[in-house]
Amino acid sequence: MTSTGTGTPRVRPQAGLAWLVLSLACACQFMVILDASIVNVALPSVRENLGFTPTGLAWVVNGYLLTFAGFMLLGGRAADLFGPRRILAAGLLLFSAASLAGGLATTPQVLVAARVAQGIGAAMMAPATLAVINTSFTEPNARARAFGAWSASGGVGGMVGAVAGGAITTGLSWRWVFLINVPIGAVLVVVAMMSPAGARTGRRESLDLIGAVTGTAGLAALVYGVMRSADHGWTSGPVVGPLVAGLLLLGVFVVVESRFAGRPMVPLRLFRIRGVAVGNGMLLLFGGISIAMWYFTSLFLQNVLGYSALQAGLGQTPAAVVFMLIARLAAALLPRTGVRPLVPAGSACFLAGFGWLAQAHTDSGYVTGVLGPTLLIAAGIGLTFPTLMVAATADVPEGDAGAVGGLAQTAGQVGGSIGLAVLATAAGARAASEIGASSPAAALAAGYDLVFLIAAGLGLAIAVVSVLLPRRRLG
């Protein structure tokens, strides 16, 4: 990866400081994923304490996801223009301050506003962590290992969030689900400012404001419309309106970026790099697989097998451990094999695991009905996720590292949002068709089984698309 700027080149961290750069990136990724999962278990306590309506309570989750997905492209480009270290530190400050506000909230409105601000902070942090890795680890072996550690840290965040949310809410208070971020964030801000990674960009460019507005608003409207589909149906006004507005704004965004923006927020020339174009397409599909694994498996454990939220989190812990171990293995293999062999191997795990999981019913045991297939699926995620991130961010000029990092994470986030809405609709329709012919739990199981079969199909689609990846090793 080479610098395209004309000013002072970025300062590379010395070998002795590389661990600090990677630890910072991993800790921030852990924090972002932790917060996406830890809040879910606390929602009943939040509703009771602050008096949320059922519809309003959903925005404790949706407010975060909406701004997280909508602002990542902007956060990624800002990291290129102002330096990933600065944007990472700014994102950490905003995220920590919003966490403090959320933990001290006394009204629903304050908590939702805090979650919106948390999402913006996370959207600044997430692409900056990828930019830090891309600009600090230029040797292929080292970069692959760094991506493996970064991917595994997200798995740790998801695992800890699923378990810690129940433990903290039960032992302390739901407020500590938010307040725990404050001291962690304060420490990470200090580390970020001391880190040598991405101290400055070497370029003096202005932000593409028209692209920033149309791109951010378009993504936010698209995700908002998808989120509302579960409650209103795909053909209703509250869903069609935002979806159409989002697509129109994204259309304007593409025109602006291609014809009028002197320094575009997302340079469309990046899509001429095959790994970027194909990798982001596969990340869109992968978002649905990830949702099917972690979200719908948790619902199956709770709604079909009768587990508590804490038990469901513990039940998914072995799969999270396998994901972390396989992600590190994939990172070690990538420099020798390239991406093309690992993606079909992961897809084979998806096909076998989701096909097996789709056979689970109300009388299934945990070990044979859930544990076995989820370990296979987790192995597939471990093989696939770091591989797709490497594919989607390789061979990119250093000055575009943040934009490409934001694009890759946006693809996964938007894919997950769309996947959640589509899979939830399919599960609900299938369950509704089974009501009357079977028990409520069995009807729900039928809906989840359909979700798992669709996820197996997404795994197959990833394998098919992967043939378009470059044959050579990406570095």
Tens of pLDDT, residue by residue over 146-181, are 777 777 777 777 777 767 776 777 677 888 888 988
For 227, the token pair is 């989120």
- 399-454 pLDDT per residue, tens: 677 777 778 878 887 888 788 778 888 888 888 888 777 788 889 899 999 999 99
Number of CB atoms found within 10 A of residue 360's CB: 24
Burial 94-124 (b: 16+ CB within 10 A, else e): bbbbbbbbbbebeebeebbbbbbbbbbbbbb
Please classify residue 69 by burial: count the beta carbons closer than 10 Å to its beta carbon, then call 0-12 exposed, 13-18 middle and 19+ buried.
buried
* DSSP, res 44: H
SS3 state at 173: coil
* DSSP, res 471: S
Q: What is the mean pLDDT of each run of 10 residues along the chain (475 residues)?
A: 40 56 82 77 79 75 80 82 84 94 92 92 86 74 76 75 71 84 88 64 61 81 79 83 90 81 74 84 87 82 82 83 87 80 91 93 89 94 87 74 78 81 83 80 90 92 85 53
Whether the Cβ atoms of residue 181 and residue 161 lie closer than 8 Å to each other: no
For 335, the token pair is 């420099």
Count of helix runs (H) and strand runs (E) in the chain: 18, 0
What CATH code would you report for 16-207?
A: 1.20.1250.20
Alpha carbon of residue 468 to chain centroid: 24
For the chain, the structural domain boundaries read 16-207, 269-475
Number of CB atoms found within 10 A of residue 365's CB: 11
pLDDT given for residue 271 in this prediction: 82
CATH topology of domain 269-475: Growth Hormone; Chain: A; (1.20.1250)
SS3 state at 153: helix
H helix or E strand, kind and range, residue 362 = none
pLDDT given for residue 228 in this prediction: 78
Confirm whether 16-207 and 269-475 share one CATH topology: yes
Whether the Cβ atoms of residue 115 and residue 59 lie closer than 8 Å to each other: yes
Whether the Cβ atoms of residue 201 and residue 85 lie closer than 8 Å to each other: no
Nearest to 130 by CA among 474, 415, 400: 400
Task: Enter the pTM of the model.
Answer: 0.77
